[in-house]
């Protein structure tokens, strides 16, 4: 365990930049090579339904639930899946992006990733547009009240199909309770394991946002900052950077237990619950993982940017494209 993290010489990013913390204080509304790079991150998912298996009980084979709905599944690069009911995680960095699945072409479309919130930002996307059609400030209730009812049904569907994704990059500890797909204990799992968790249902996003907001408030209190609303209006850039650094430190030192809530709305689905269990310290390997996560983010954003350039040709002239390059955020 370490009391401080040392960023390697030559890397010009601050710890807050590596973690991806972005505090909105200004008052704004808020191929083979590809396979090898993308696949190196284990994917964490929340299961929506129970996994059934056959167990022999008193000489009879019986179909029983071996993994309950709401368990967490970690799919590793080699395809092996590990399950756990309440894993402990650390979040080392995070990003947000817009996403929409193209049913007609059977592929996902996505925007570039943003530090902090996607709301209020203009992000290039893989279709050649921005925000996959979302309006930057449509999070405001006034947008729906004044304009939404007059929009076409086709427009409403397109906007509703575009989901906010929160990408959590961190490490997972099964706390000695790792299970295989048959519900049998796994004793040879090396922990902690780096992961990517793509969170997109609204209930889960709300729970995670609350927890991150608590960390921001706690960090501001530690620094003796005034109330958040006052801070947004009056803080200067130096104060913003100070708060971002403190938020990054507190996030890295936090341990969370993941749980789940089961919902029945005509079909069964699960949402994330998250509770902070303790404030620990940095761990060996944190900087290496942060650098790897940032490398992965930059690589994927590069692919998205290339798709934007390819698909934007018919939409904008070269001069217009150059103009957009200057004004559109590239997170």
DSSP 72-95: EEEE-TTS-EEEESS-EEEEEEEE
Res 304: pLDDT: 96
**Does residue 320 come out as left (phi exceeding 0), alpha (psi in the -120 to 50 range) or beta?**
alpha
What is the C-alpha R_g of the chain? 22
Q: Quote the tokens at residue 11.
A: 């890397």
Residue 42 C-alpha from the chain's centroid: 14
User: What are φ and ψ of residue 123, in 5° steps?
Assistant: -120, 130
Nearest to 263 by CA among 198, 201, 171, 309: 201
Instruction: Tell me the two tokens of residue 102.
Output: 């193209």
Q: For residues 21 and 251, is the Cβ–Cβ distance under 8 A? A: yes
Question: pLDDT tens digits, the chain, 331 residues: what are they?
Answer: 555 665 666 665 666 676 766 655 433 334 444 444 444 789 999 999 999 987 777 788 888 899 999 999 999 888 889 999 999 999 999 999 999 999 899 999 999 999 989 988 999 999 999 999 887 765 544 445 566 777 778 777 777 889 999 999 999 999 889 999 999 999 888 778 999 999 999 999 999 999 999 999 999 899 888 765 555 555 567 788 888 899 999 999 999 999 999 998 888 899 999 999 888 888 888 999 999 999 999 999 999 999 999 998 755 545 445 545 555 555 4
In whole angstroms, give the CA distance from residue 28 to residue 32.
41
Residue with tokens 């996030």, as numbered in its chain: 251
Report how far residue 280's alpha carbon sits from residue 167's, in angstroms, rounded to the nearest whole number.
22
Q: Tokens standing for 305?
A: 């940017």
SS3 content of the chain, % helix, strand, coil (to 5): 35, 30, 35
Q: How far, in Å, CA of 102 to CA of 109, rounded?
A: 7
Show Cβ contacts of residue 162 under 8 Å, excluding neighbours closer than 6 positions. Answer: 98, 99, 100, 131, 132, 133, 134
**Burial of 266 per CB tally in 10 Å (0-12, 13-18, 19+):** exposed
- Phi, psi (rounded to 5 degrees) for 264: -125, 100
């Amino acid at each position: 365990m370490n009391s401080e993290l040392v960023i390697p010489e030559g890397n010009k990013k601050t710890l807050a930049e590596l973690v991806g913390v972005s505090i909105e204080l200004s008052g704004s509304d808020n191929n083979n090579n590809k396979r090898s790079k993308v696949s190196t991150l284990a994917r964490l998912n929340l299961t929506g339904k129970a996994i059934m298996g056959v167990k022999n009980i008193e000489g009879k084979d019986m179909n029983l639930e071996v993994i309950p709905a709401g368990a967490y599944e970690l799919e590793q690069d080699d395809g092996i899946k590990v399950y756990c009911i309440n894993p402990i995680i650390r979040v080392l960095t995070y990003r947000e992006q817009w996403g929409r699945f193209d049913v007609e072409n059977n592929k996902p479309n996505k925007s570039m990733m943003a530090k902090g919130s996607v709301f209020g930002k203009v992000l290039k996307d893989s279709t050649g547009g921005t925000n996959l059609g979302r309006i930057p400030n449509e999070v405001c209730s006034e947008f729906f009240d004044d304009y939404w009812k007059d929009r076409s049904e086709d427009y409403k569907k397109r906007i509703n199909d575009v989901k906010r994704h929160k990408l959590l990059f961190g490490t997972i500890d099964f706390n000695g309770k790792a299970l295989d797909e048959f519900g049998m204990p796994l004793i040879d799992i090396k922990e902690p394991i780096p992961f990517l968790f793509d969170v997109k249902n609204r209930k889960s996003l709300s729970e995670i946002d609350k927890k991150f907001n608590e960390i921001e408030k706690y960090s501001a209190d530690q620094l003796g900052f005034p109330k958040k609303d006052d801070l947004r209006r009056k803080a200067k850039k130096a104060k913003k950077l100070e708060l971002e650094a403190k938020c990054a430190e507190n996030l890295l030192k936090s341990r969370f237990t993941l749980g789940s809530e089961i919902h029945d709305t005509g079909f069964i689905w699960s949402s994330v619950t998250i509770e902070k269990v303790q404030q620990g310290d940095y761990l060996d390997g944190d900087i290496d993982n942060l650098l790897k996560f940032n490398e992965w983010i930059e690589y994927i954003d590069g692919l998205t940017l290339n798709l934007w350039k390819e698909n934007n040709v018919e939409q904008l002239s070269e001069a217009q494209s150059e103009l957009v390059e200057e004004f559109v955020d590239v997170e």
